[in-house]
């Protein structure tokens, strides 16, 4: 099925200005590089999202779900298929005491601020993670000793037959930066979280402290996807990369951050090729020196 035909079939369900052809992905991802997606579809609400997903599955059209694009690296050849963007309109949140029901497109920073105002604690660790809640569940995002799996009660998702699943946290196979959703290609559509209770001022204090720590140690003002590599067992990727003398190393516009060696940043005009070449040098050098093979945490998608 060609893209024109898919676009035509999508239009009964979604406004034309929400179905973009040949959309550059550098403007939609935090790394600010990568080629274009054949189609970039932005459903306005959860009902549209369901219709879009159903059609793409029915037509056997390759597609990828994207939250905030803060852990995605698109190759320079772009993506042959449909990128479905979850954000505004798919971000409703309801607090019922310590329980939160949320749609996947809500931003983690916005959600943690809202929880703070409601006097609900537990999301402080997430206030500086620039992802969506859906992306955080998929990745089991975490920081400063907390991770989203500590708070998840259950996750609703649509499988590849279009059937709704409702999984309890213990069935989500959460691990370090991993979940069942990274293996089964289901689309996360609703998340139930259990928070604690505290005074908003105390929650805010913790958020401010964590933000200051993050700002001091991480290159938050440069395009990146956060920590490029997963933490190896018993060590830190940043420490191993620094020890290998790779801080500040550049390939084209890609650079190992001089501030935090665990981050590869786009220092200006990087192509994804630059990032991949730099990643390869880092992995090979670290493996030679330490015997540890670093695995990327960043999700690399698309065509060369
Ligand atoms: C400056 C910076 C700091 C960061 N700090 C941290 C940190 O401290 N801790 C941490 O864990 N991460 C961190 N990250 C990485 C990133 O923000 C997290 O991994 C985040 O959870 C990704 O969410 P996202 O919405 O951007 O996901 P995306 O990048 O859009 O997607 C990531 C993956 O999730 C899938 N996905 C997204 N939404 C859904 C859905 N609804 N259903 C099914 N699959 C879905 C995508 O297909 C993709 O495979 C950082 C990134 C940056 C740029």
Q: What is the pLDDT along the chain (304 residues), one digit of tens a residue?
A: 689 999 999 999 999 999 999 999 999 999 999 999 999 999 999 999 999 999 999 999 999 999 999 999 999 999 999 999 999 999 999 999 999 999 999 999 999 999 999 999 999 999 999 999 999 999 999 999 999 999 999 999 999 998 999 999 999 999 999 999 999 989 999 999 999 999 999 999 999 999 999 999 999 999 999 999 999 999 999 999 999 999 999 999 999 999 999 999 999 999 999 999 999 999 999 999 999 999 999 999 999 9
Same domain, 139 and 235: no
Give the closest residue (by CA) to ligand 1 atom 6. Answer: 129
pLDDT value of residue 180? 98
Number of separate domains in the chain: 3
Given 103, 124, 186, 297, the catalytic residue: 297
pLDDT value of residue 2? 86
Q: How far is the CA of 190 from the centre of ligand 1 (A)?
A: 16
Establish if 214 belongs to a structural domain. Answer: no
Beta partners for residue 120, in sequence order = 197
Same domain, 79 and 108: no
Rounded Cα distance, 44 and 81, in Å: 20
Is the CB–ligand 1 distance for residue 226 below 6 Å? yes
Longest CA–CA span in the chain (Å) reads: 57
Same domain, 81 and 25: yes
Q: How far is the CA of 299 from the centre of ligand 1 (A)?
A: 9
**Annotation marks residue 227 as catalytic:** yes
What CATH code is carried by the domain that includes residue 275? 3.90.78.10
Q: Which of residues 202, 237, 272 is at a domain's end?
A: 202
Q: Is 277 left (phi over 0), alpha (psi -120 to 50) or beta?
A: alpha
Q: What is the DSSP string of 44-82?
A: SSHHHHHHHHHHHHHTT--EEEESS-SSEEE-TT-EEEE
Q: Which of residues 85, 119, 144 is at a domain's end?
A: 85
Same domain, 191 and 242: no
Q: In which element (H, E) is residue 153 found?
A: strand 152-158
Rounded Cα distance, 117 and 217, in Å: 27
Which atom of ligand 1 is found nearest the CA of 136? 21
Print the domain residue range for 130.
93-202
DSSP-derived pairing of the beta strands 79-85 and 152-158: unpaired
Give the closest residue (by CA) to ligand 1 atom 20. Answer: 131
Rounded Cα distance, 130 and 152, in Å: 19
DSSP-derived pairing of the beta strands 187-194 and 152-158: antiparallel
pLDDT value of residue 239? 97
Given 32, 167, 177, 283, the catalytic residue: 177
Per DSSP, the three-state class of 228 is coil
Give the closest residue (by CA) to ligand 1 atom 9. Answer: 142
Same domain, 198 and 258: no
Cβ atoms of 220 and 214 within 8 Å: the answer is yes
Establish if 213 belongs to a structural domain. Answer: no
Establish if 74 belongs to a structural domain. Answer: yes
For 115, the token pair is 């929880």
pLDDT value of residue 1? 67
Establish if 239 belongs to a structural domain. Answer: yes
Same domain, 188 and 123: yes
User: Count of CB atoms within 10 A of residue 95's CB?
Assistant: 17
Establish if 168 belongs to a structural domain. Answer: yes
């Amino acid at each position: 099925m060609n893209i024109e035909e898919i676009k035509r079939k999508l239009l009964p369900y979604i406004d034309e200005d929400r179905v973009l052809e040949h959309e550059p992905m550098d403007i939609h991802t935090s790394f600010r590089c990568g080629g274009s997606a054949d189609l970039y579809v932005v459903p306005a609400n959860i009902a549209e999202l369901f219709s879009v997903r159903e059609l793409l599955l029915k037509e056997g059209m390759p597609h990828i779900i994207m939250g905030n694009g803060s852990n995605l690296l698109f190759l320079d050849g772009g993506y042959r298929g449909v990128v479905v963007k979850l954000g505004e309109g798919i971000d409703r949140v309801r607090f019922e005491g310590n329980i939160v029901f949320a749609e996947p497109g809500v931003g983690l920073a916005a959600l943690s601020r809202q929880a703070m105002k409601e006097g609900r604690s537990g999301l402080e660790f997430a206030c500086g993670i620039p992802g969506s809640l859906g992306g955080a569940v998929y990745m089991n995002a975490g920081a400063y000793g907390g991770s989203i799996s500590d708070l998840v009660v259950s996750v609703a998702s649509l499988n590849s037959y279009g059937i709704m699943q409702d999984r309890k946290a213990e069935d989500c196979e959460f691990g370090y930066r991993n979940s069942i959703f990274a293996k089964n290609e289901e689309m996360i559509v609703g998340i139930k979280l259990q928070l604690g209770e505290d005074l908003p001022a105390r929650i805010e204090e913790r958020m401010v402290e964590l933000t200051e720590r993050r700002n001091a140690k991480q290159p938050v003002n440069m395009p990146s996807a956060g920590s490029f590599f997963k933490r190896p067992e018993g060590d830190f990727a940043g420490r191993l990369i620094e020890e290998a003398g790779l801080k500040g190393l550049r390939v084209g516009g890609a650079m190992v951050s001089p501030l935090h060696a665990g981050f590869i940043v786009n220092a200006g005009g990087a192509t994804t090729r630059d990032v991949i070449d730099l990643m390869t040098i880092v992995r090979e050098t670290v493996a030679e020196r330490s015997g540890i093979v670093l695995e990327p945490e960043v999700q690399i998608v698309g065509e060369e």
